[in-house]
């Protein structure tokens, strides 16, 4: 959801809840910024002949359509349940979920995200496992 902060205008309280939710989810190992770290991780792992491809994954101009909205509702429900379990604060996270979905239904919404793909090769002789 890091990408959301770059493409959706947030009011300050909604942004604060988003950042807190991401921080809490991050404590479980979820990393919304993983895509931008892939090249470094591949390089650090010793892979060679690295290539990177960045492609549009989602682009919305205006309110989400029904299928996309259903997908985002599912994501929001999953995250909300996790945050409630983690903090015990049902009203805060349900309110956040509802406000988040309302923002996705706004006619002035502009949202985009990209998919980052990194490929690399294991250097010859390093990928073989001994018997």
Residue 97 placed within a domain: yes
Residue 129 placed within a domain: no
| Residues in Cβ contact with 99 at an 8 Å cutoff, skipping those fewer than 6 apart | 14, 17
Domain of 57 in residue numbering reads as: 4-120
Total domains, the chain: 1
pLDDT tens-place values along the chain, 131 residues long:
444 545 567 789 999 999 999 999 999 999 988 999 999 999 999 999 999 999 999 999 999 999 999 999 999 999 999 999 999 999 999 999 999 999 999 999 998 889 999 999 999 877 665 54
The Cβ of residue 111 has, within 10 Å, a number of other Cβ atoms equal to 19
Residue 126 placed within a domain: no
Give the Cα-Cα-Cα angle 63, 2, 72 (nearest 5 degrees).
40
Residue 72 placed within a domain: yes
Model-level pTM?
Answer: 0.77
CA-only gyration radius of the chain, Å: 19
Helices (H), 27-125: 38-44, 66-87, 90-104
Residue 127 placed within a domain: no
How is residue 20 written in tokens?
Answer: 């807190």
């Amino acid at each position: 959801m890091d990408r959301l902060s770059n493409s959706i205008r947030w009011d300050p309280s909604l942004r604060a809840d988003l950042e807190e939710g991401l921080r809490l989810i991050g404590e479980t190992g979820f990393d919304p910024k993983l895509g931008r770290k892939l090249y470094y991780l591949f390089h650090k792992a010793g892979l060679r002949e690295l290539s990177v491809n960045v492609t549009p994954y989602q682009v919305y101009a205006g309110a989400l359509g029904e299928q996309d909205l259903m997908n985002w509702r599912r994501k929001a429900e999953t995250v909300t349940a996790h945050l409630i379990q983690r903090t015990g604060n049902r009203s805060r996270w349900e309110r956040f979920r509802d406000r988040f979905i309302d923002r996705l239904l706004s006619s002035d919404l502009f949202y985009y995200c990209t998919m980052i793909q990194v490929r690399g090769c294991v250097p010859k002789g390093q990928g073989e496992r001994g018997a």
